[in-house]
Amino acid sequence: MGIVVQKYGGSSVADPAAIKRVARRIVQAKKAGNDVVVAVSAMGDTTDELLDKARAVSPLPPARELDMLLTAGERISMALVAMAISDLGFSARSFTGSQAGVITDSVHGKAKIIDVTPGRIQEAIADGHIVIVAGFQGVSQDTKEITTLGRGGTDTTAVALAAALKADVCEIYTDVDGVFTADPRIVPAARKLDTVTYEEMLELAACGAKILHLRCVEYARRYDIPIHVRSSFSQLTGTLVRGSIDDLTHQPQEGSSMEAAIIAGVAHDRSEAKITVVGVPDKVGEAARIFTALAEAQINLDMIVQNVSAAATNLTDISFTLPRTDGQTAMTALAGLQATIGFESLLYDDKIGKVSLIGAGMRSHPGVTAKFFSAIADAGVNLGMISTSEIRISVVVDEADVDAAVAATHTAFDLDATEVEAVVYGGSGR
């Protein structure tokens, strides 16, 4: 008998009817002979609604109290799912993140999982229960306070549980049938991928694909946990995330078309902003001081571009992208350095979007970059910044041009499906 860990997102448990449907699927896995552990998100838009309530009461709610509030959403879901399972004649036990042994650091709002000590889960499994765990939350190792893992944290909870329990697979249930070559909401002709490597999925997640959380994929790769991305609204086989780009068995053969197996998909992200530090003295250590200040403010940067310094002034501009939610914090941190470093000014732009082309095969296929840029140019889209990795090319464009750039790139690389359009079953997109 193997262990299967399942995760159900907010749209999958959005209302009582959806919860009953999820309970039937969980029981089906139990009837198949598996021990089943389930991580659940808050119902529908509950987390956003709780955030709205917090901000209505306090413009800047204390981080500790905000975590106490937000974790209530998952606790509601876990109890309701356990009740629905009980109504089907099976025994279920629900646990909060702390009860399940999810140990984190002490950073409220975006804590990282340090360890999982699943003693109570294992006892419940041994007693024949289906286990339901509240996702998105844990308890700090140092302070013993309740913490939340940030957006997408239930994905990370599920994979961490799968690793701790040595599960056979972690099934992530969402409102689409798997991982697609683009967001079906923008490109209805997007194709579902049967398999995708950890590295490709990491790039897709980092570049804005909302299907899996970045830290969830990192955790899965570290512990070699296969992730099966499926829809809770259908019985279709989804996408299996596993394996490395170094052991791909589906590399295109010589003479096959360039697009055959090199591109995993096109991702986009509208959640970033761009800051330009204008007129930075071109001296050793100035860039380090800028990025040290941002690191101390707990800000993760994405794309970074430094211009060649002007010969006449010996000044340069440094531009970078970061989460839009961290924009004000970053501007404040940098403004405090202006007198010390002597840069001229700061420019802030939150009307940008990022479009990325991802695929393991582009490592060995020339012409991918040229085709990507040509497709975007033909769509009349101007590029602001460019960044690359071994299996990714990302560009910053105007926010209003994101959809056009994604669609043009998807078509240029022959990723459009010819049979049936992708289906998005639920979710408000909030």
Mean pLDDT of 362-367: 80
Mean pLDDT of 351-374: 90
Residue 185 has pLDDT above 70, yes or no: yes
Residue matched to tokens 């970053």: 330
Q: Distance between CA atoms of 351 and 353, rounded to whole angstroms? A: 7
Q: Distance between CA atoms of 143 and 107, rounded to whole angstroms? A: 10
Q: Give the type of residue at 5.
A: V
Cβ count within 10 A of residue 91: 13
pLDDT, tens only, 83-137: 999 999 999 999 999 999 999 999 999 899 999 999 999 999 999 999 999 999 9
Residue 255 has pLDDT above 70, yes or no: no
Residue 213 has pLDDT above 90, yes or no: no
CATH of domain 3-245: 3.40.1160.10
Q: From 157, 147, 152, select the one nearest 106 (Cα to Cα).
A: 147
> What are the structural domain ranges in the chain?
3-245, 258-413
Cα 135 vs. chain centroid, distance in angstroms?
15
Identify the top-confidence range among 158-172, 208-222, 251-265: 158-172
For helices 327-335 and 286-296, give the axis angle rounded to 10 degrees.
Answer: 130
Q: How confident is the model at residue 422 (pLDDT cuts 50, 70, 90)?
A: low
Neighbouring residues of 173: CB distance < 8 A, sequence distance ≥ 6: 6, 7, 8, 9, 12, 22, 25, 230, 231, 232
Task: For domain 258-413, give the CATH superfamily.
Answer: VC0802-like (3.30.2130.10)
pLDDT, tens only, 20-77: 999 999 999 999 999 999 999 999 999 999 999 999 999 999 999 999 999 999 999 9
Predicted pLDDT at 430? 34
Predicted pLDDT at 249? 45
Predicted pLDDT at 319? 96
